[in-house]
């Protein structure tokens, strides 16, 4: 089994020069396995052929006899199924999997940082916490802080790292009523104290099977099991396709990467009680997250969504009895 795999999930978008640069950096590391999972719209199967042709040309960027694993779906899977089955396949071959969107930008030297500092740092902290950190997030809202990584209840899905044992526990734990079985206390954590109505509405959309997101399942799994996410205080990766295709660099934003030292957060964990450290930064999460709108409207949406969720849970219970 390989130690590290990198997954790309492609849909309706042909790999561009930015992606080739990412692959060029990955190609310098013989130990990294690369996986492509290609999905397509029901009425546009030819688009996946175009994507496949481009990926075959990209193979030349790999050193030696290495070749990426290319899995082209024979029919439309949809984002949720493509990602979940793709991560499962990669996790069966690799101990850890890095999940990236195809339009992600990586700072220069990112993979070396990941292998030499971030993953070893995660392992040390996770051991100290008895295995309660189930993944590493690689993206975060830009912040200016004295630390670089902290523990959070919340995950960002524009780049993250998961170990295979946590992923397969997640897959084995899923069931048809997984989301509706969320408790009041866990729902409060998911919605950041009833302030994050975005999470509340996405949970409801999934239950009602409208605009289904795979990521909300992972978020619920993390919270239900009392896990934490090792989260950076700056974006290790950038989503170049965010904001309708606007490029972050065009808007004067920076990677804030050169000043990164994971040793800072390790020192913090040695000096402070873990519970206090996490609790201290929970309010910090609320203050900077653009997805959170603190106020009466958010609370009303969150609370209303929860009661709708419980009504659906009761209906499902009686319909099966």
| pLDDT tens figures, 119-146 | 888 888 888 888 989 999 887 765 556 6
- Residue recorded with tokens 């309708």: 244
Q: What one-character DSSP code corresponds to residue 95?
A: E
The per-residue pLDDT for 33 is 92
pLDDT category at 272 given cuts 50, 70, 90 is very low
Sorted by where each starts, the structural domains of the chain and their CATH numbers stand as: 1-102 (3.40.50)
What's phi and psi for 3, nearest 5 deg?
A: -80, -35
**In the predicted model, is pLDDT for residue 79 greater than 50?**
yes
**What would the two tokens of residue 35 be?**
């996986």
User: What confidence score (pLDDT) does residue 184 get?
Assistant: 93
DSSP H helical ranges for the chain: 17-26, 45-58, 79-91, 110-113, 119-128, 164-173, 184-190, 197-207, 215-224, 262-271, 274-288, 296-319
Q: In which residue are the tokens 């969720």 written?
A: 309
pLDDT band of residue 65 (cuts 50, 70, 90) is low
When mean pLDDT is compared across 132-146, 256-270, 277-291, the lowest value belongs to 256-270
Q: Which of 217, 181, 185 is nearest to 199 (CA)?
A: 217
Residue 163 main-chain phi, psi, to 5 deg? -85, 150
pLDDT of 71 over the 50 cut: yes
189-200 per-position pLDDT tens digit? 898 888 888 889
CA distance 267 to 290: 29
Structure tokens at 31: 């130990």
Say if residues 237 and 137 touch (Cβ distance below 8 Å).
no
Q: What was the pLDDT predicted at 54?
A: 79
> What phi and psi, each to the nearest 5 degrees, are found at residue 107?
-65, 155
What confidence score (pLDDT) does residue 275 get?
A: 30
Task: Round to whole Å and give the CA distance between 191 and 302.
Answer: 7
pLDDT in tens, 207-260: 998 878 888 999 999 999 999 888 877 667 766 654 433 333 333 343 333 343
Instruction: Name which of 144, 150, 137, 35 is nearest 93 in CA terms.
Output: 35
Task: Report phi then psi at 160, rounded to 5.
Answer: -160, 165
Is residue 186's pLDDT more than 90? yes
């Amino acid at each position: 089994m390989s130690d590290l795999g990198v997954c790309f999930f492609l849909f309706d978008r042909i790999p561009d020069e930015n992606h080739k640069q990412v692959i060029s950096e990955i190609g310098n590391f013989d130990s990294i396995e690369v996986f492509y999972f290609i999905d397509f719209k029901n009425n546009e199967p030819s688009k996946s052929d175009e994507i496949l042709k481009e990926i075959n040309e990209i193979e030349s960027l790999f050193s030696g006899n290495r070749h990426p694993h290319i899995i082209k779906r024979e029919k439309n899977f949809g984002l949720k199924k493509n990602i979940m089955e793709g991560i499962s396949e990669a996790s069966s071959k690799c101990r850890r999997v890095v999940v990236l969107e195809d339009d992600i930008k990586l700072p220069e030297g990112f993979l070396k940082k990941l292998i030499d500092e971030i993953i070893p740092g995660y392992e040390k902290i996770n051991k100290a916490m008895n295995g309660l950190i189930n993944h590493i997030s690689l993206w975060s809202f830009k912040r200016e802080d004295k630390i670089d990584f902290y523990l959070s209840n919340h995950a960002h899905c524009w780049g993250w790292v998961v170990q295979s044992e946590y992923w397969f526990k997640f897959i084995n734990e899923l069931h048809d009523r997984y989301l509706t079985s969320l408790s009041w206390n866990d729902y409060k954590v998911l919605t950041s104290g009833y302030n994050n109505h975005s999470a509340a509405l996405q949970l409801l959309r999934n239950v009602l099977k409208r605009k289904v997101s795979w990521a909300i399942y992972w978020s619920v799994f993390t919270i239900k099991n009392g896990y934490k996410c090792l989260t950076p205080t700056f974006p290790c990766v950038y989503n170049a396709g965010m904001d309708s295709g606007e490029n972050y660099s065009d808007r004067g934003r920076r990677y804030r990467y050169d000043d990164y030292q994971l040793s800072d957060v390790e020192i913090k964990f040695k000096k402070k009680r873990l519970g206090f450290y996490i609790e201290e930064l929970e309010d910090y999460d609320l203050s900077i997250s653009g997805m959170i709108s603190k106020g009466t409207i958010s609370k009303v949406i969150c609370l209303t969504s929860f009661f709708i969720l419980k009504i659906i849970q009761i209906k499902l219970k009686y319909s099966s009895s």
